[in-house]
Amino acid sequence: MGFSTEKSDALWWLMVSADVNANRLLLALMDAPQWQEDLPRLATGVLGRMQRGHWNTTVANAWGVLALERFARRFEAAAVTGTTTAALGGERFGHTWAGDTGTTPFGRRLPWPPARAGLALRHEGAGAPWVTVASIAAIPLATALSSGYQVARSVSPVQQQTPGRWSRGDVARVRLAIDAQADMTWVVVSDPIPAGSTVLGRGLGGDSTLATAGERRQGAVWPAFEERTFEGFRAYYRYVPKGRFVVEYTVRLNNAGSFQLPPTRVEAMYAPEMFGESPNADWAVQP
């Protein structure tokens, strides 16, 4: 959940914040008839604003407790008992609840049916359990995909033996321009590199400080942690506001060959429906 006036509402010295507004909004709309279908989504958005198990101010936490207690009385008054079943095509599975302590095992999946089919969910018993549904398929990505984030990747030479052609030992600068459609917490940017390459900037022996001197960062974001692994570059952000930001890193090509790279991906870790992907062309490196 986000507001268009998010930045101007951050008046902590007046005990005002967007977290306060979000919790008060959920409480104010509890009895509004036209908002009943959206109340579970609002509650999910309110919980998604929490960081380290709490909201940003004492006032926000007080309003949040009141709002969620009232929401629980409305939608979660009865303990969940009985059996919940899911069916897709000819496959199905069921889960039996034991009072309010029952939990569904993580990773329960139904295989894709051979033809178009509907997903049927059924609960027999008391209470109303929450269900999260996601579709997962290994489909080659031909064009950029945006569901909350847009990412554009470009590569430029830092050191190149032969202009216009990549060779073993060359150094490249990778630029990732990302557009966020909403404020989100804990966002990760993951970009692959050719096998055997080295992402510079780790500070280890054989690294080059001069090669990374031209890296630029733009936007009001700061990484909480960065990974420079043998398979790619990853940056984790505690908070990413709506708008555009740019990340750059430097990679040295150590192996020759033609490398097929997976897509570049940006994702909100605790809201996986908010993501963006961009396919990468094959990267040819000459000996």
Asked whether residue 161 falls in the same domain as residue 207, the answer is yes
In Å, what is the CA distance from 75 to each residue of 133, 185, 219?
19, 26, 40
Q: Which domain holds residue 261?
A: 145-285
Q: How confident is the model at residue 108 (pLDDT cuts 50, 70, 90)?
A: confident
Q: Would you say the pTM of this structure is higher than 0.85? A: no
For residue 117, tell me if it sits in a domain.
yes
Is residue 140 in a domain?
no
pLDDT grade for 34, boundaries at 50, 70 and 90: very high
Arithmetic mean of pLDDT over the chain: 89
Examine the domain organization and report whether 201 and 273 are in the same domain. Answer: yes
156 and 272 together in one domain = yes
Query: Is pLDDT above 80 for 33?
Result: yes
Token couple for 201: 């900037």
Residue 224 lies in a domain: yes
